[in-house]
Structure 1
Amino acid sequence: MTSEPEKYADRIYRSGSALVAGVVLLGLVGWLAGDALLRGDGRTPVTAASTLLFVAPLIVAFTLRPAVFASDERLRVRNPFRTVTAPWSAVDSIQAGYSTELVAEGTKYQMWAIPVSLRARSKATRRREAAESGRAPRSFLGFGGSAAPDVADADRPAPGDMAVAELRELAERHGADEAAKGEVTVRWSYETLAPLAVGGVALLVLWLTS
């Protein structure tokens, strides 16, 4: 009797800085709108509610929502306003230039959750060159550090490049699997777009009737 191969939980890729920024911005917008709702008079509470309904989904869409989920069968890219699900057999390539992109069935999809930091990439390159030469990497002012980085640390790429390398490995490993076959599907995030549209229409009506 043969046992089925063990399945692992999805790998999840998200931007920590974006999550922090989203929580801070939501707190700030909520505080300002709440104050206007409680203390404002005239059209101020209605304007504050409409603004909150418009701004909050935008903050969530661009900070809290983006994520990339990778399993043995598929890659799911959750961007601000839509979710792209691509079985590994449909993945043509995963690229990292000035941004990270999924190419599936000939179409490019940006992966918002895995930002490319040119500064981090440059730092990783300097660290690797310093380890190869045996010298300490130069600092911002041109002075060397206390010691050259060890080989293990020097070989560590920038976080965005590391995530792309892991996804490429999964694509190569599972691209021919029977469970990883299928077509690319794209789903719009109506739960984000609906309140955004309502808030936008409300603000437009308030502006036209002011």
Structure 2
Amino acid sequence: MTDTATATDARPPKHVVYCGVCTLPPEYCEYGGTTKKCSEWLVANHPDLHSHLYSEDAATKGMSNLSLDAQKRAEKDAQKKAAKAEAAEAREKTQRAASKVYIKRVERNKRKYVTEVSGLEAFGLDLKKIAKEFGKKFATGSSVTKNAGGTGDEITVQGDVSDDIFDWLQEHHAEVPEDNIELIEDKKKKASAGP
């Protein structure tokens, strides 16, 4: 009985703060590629922790045990990481601006239609979550499927709801610009009758 821990011996769990940008503890944010964004998040949400981690004293204390060459290399590495992060952010913005969301109405047979929505993943949207919202909103079957070309995923919604999806995307997801949404109507070609 003596080797079992009692309730009084148990230590309370530690509260660890995690960065809202990179999801690491703030002590490790400097090793990732989003140091600038992490620092801004920390200032906004935990200013006391930011002043402790990023103060001049902390920086000089960390650099004091490095040699002169190592300090220069550390500064160069920090500049390279910052430049890479800025370039990646700029590349992501241009990619988002060039990305298109295609809402395609496909005729299944005679008067039955299926609406396919592709290109939403470029804007950082969760396809499964949106497919579920489509199913609830339009009271139809909705699922995430592979593209016909096999290049990515798309949301397939049963029924002709292409205009409604266009309006819904405008209303609920402002990060997708109206100019980047295209409505396409795809009809099956009828087999020509032979002579």
Q: Structure 1 length as normaliser, TM-score?
A: 0.30
Q: Structure 2 length as normaliser, TM-score?
A: 0.32
